[in-house]
Amino acid sequence: MNKPISRGWITFWVIVSLLSFIVLAVGGAGLYVWNGLRPTAAGEVREVVIPKGSSAFKVAEVLEKEGIIRDAFLFKYYLRYKKEGGQFQAGTYELIPGMDRDEVIAKLNSGDTVKEETVRFTIPEGYTVQQIADKLSSEGIVDRQQFLEVAEAKETLSYSGEGSVLQPTAEMKHVLEGYMFPDTYEMKKDSSAKDIVVRMLQELDRKLGQLPEDWGNVLEQRKLSFHQLLTIASMVEREVVNDDERAAVAGVIFNRLQKGMPLQIDATIQYMLEAPKEKLLTADTQIPGPYNTYLNVGLPPGPIASPSLASIEAALYPDQHDYLYYVTKKDGTGAHYFSKTYNEHLRNKKQSERNEKNGGEQR
């Protein structure tokens, strides 16, 4: 007869079986963790995009999808264990399959991203919306028609701090005229027309931060809107070549406004024309239109160009004087003669004509 198995032996084998199971389970789990965290097979460099606002868990999923890590689930908990992931920076990275996981983490922490291809362009001071569109189009940066459509959309003004309060009128030639700041820009290649317009609008807001802190109060004291200030600044920009005359010309504009005199700014007539002329004729000053400052008293409906910060500051703080007239000297300096009376202005005009006949030699 077979001897019955004792209770002790049964207990022993149960314990041995449980221990073996535990050892196998722990070993299997360890193998799973080891395999899941070891580097992937070596491969070619890949560009991996980490979107803005990605959590550490989302980053792990992107890395697994791109073949940079083996197991996103394990990598998430490895990050938690190492207290990493909170400093990961968005952008496009060059990562190589087979990289050590700590190398990947270090690269994401440092923000060592691929430098995006950019395009650089310059918008000169005093350019109009049309001129900006033409320049960007000729340089292959943007489609001219798309740019103009964005620049004519009232909704685009919402991207400008100062422009957002503007209520465009039917008399305005271009909605965004004057609000796109003239400067040198560097932007991502293939930026859309809207991207470029918005960037230029926001640059105006940034530049206004360089003005004296009281400039808002100055506008209120003079009962001027920002749109009116920009309009005056744009005329100064188109009329003046020498920086030291900006405030003087702005002073003439304010003096004539206060006396109810037509501004008679030639640059506003040029703005009305299909193409600018080297020399305006008397007939040009009689062309009807809201921008004709010979026929209409007061400011035109809006800016006639994009003014520089210097012209904006001149319009804010014009020279205090009694001049009502100015005329280009035509002596090669780009400077002007200023006068208080019309008779004096006529004498200055004759002197200007003599300078021109003498070949514009400086006197």
**319 contacts 330 by C-beta, under 8 angstroms:** no
**Residues 105 and 163 occupy one common structural domain:** no
Q: How far apart are CA 342 and CA 325, in angstroms?
A: 7
Q: Which among 55, 61, 58, 68 is positioned nearest to 95, based on CA atoms? A: 68
Q: At what angle do helices 193-208 and 144-151 cross, to 10 degrees?
A: 50
Domain for residue 140, yes or no? yes
Q: What is the pLDDT of residue 163?
A: 87
CB crowding 234-272: b at 16 or more within 10 Å, else e: bbbbbbbeeeebbbbbbbbbbbbbeeeeebebbbbbbbb
Distances (CA, A) of 333 to 80, 114, 311: 70, 49, 19
Which range of residues forms the domain containing residue 263?
241-321
Q: What is the pLDDT of residue 227?
A: 95
- Residue 185, strand partner residues: 121
**Element (DSSP H or E) covering residue 339:** strand 336-339
**Residues 130 and 103 occupy one common structural domain:** no
Q: At a CB cut-off of 8 Å and minimum separation 6, what does 229 contact?
A: 219, 312, 315, 316
Domain for residue 362, yes or no? no
Q: In the chain, what is the straight-line distance between the N-terminal and C-terminal CA atoms, in Å?
A: 138
Neighbours of 328 (CB within 10 A): 18
List the pLDDT tens digit at each of the 363 positions of the chain: 455 555 655 565 556 556 555 654 454 445 555 555 678 788 888 888 888 888 888 988 888 888 888 888 888 888 888 888 888 888 888 888 988 888 888 988 988 877 778 899 999 999 999 999 999 999 999 999 999 999 999 899 999 988 888 888 999 999 999 999 999 999 988 899 999 999 999 999 999 999 998 899 999 998 999 999 999 999 999 999 999 999 999 999 999 999 999 999 999 999 999 888 888 889 999 999 999 999 999 999 999 999 999 999 999 999 999 999 999 999 889 899 999 999 999 999 999 999 888 875 443
Q: How far apart are CA 41 and CA 28, in angstroms?
A: 22
**63 contacts 48 by C-beta, under 8 angstroms:** yes
Q: What is the pLDDT of residue 15?
A: 60
CB crowding 149-171: b at 16 or more within 10 Å, else e: ebbbeeebbebbebbeebebeee
Domain count across the chain: 3
| pTM above threshold 0.85 | no
Domain boundary among 88, 110, 132: 110
Q: What is the pLDDT of residue 29?
A: 47
**Residues 263 and 279 occupy one common structural domain:** yes
Q: What is the pLDDT of residue 133?
A: 96
**Residues 261 and 294 occupy one common structural domain:** yes
**Residues 128 and 102 occupy one common structural domain:** no
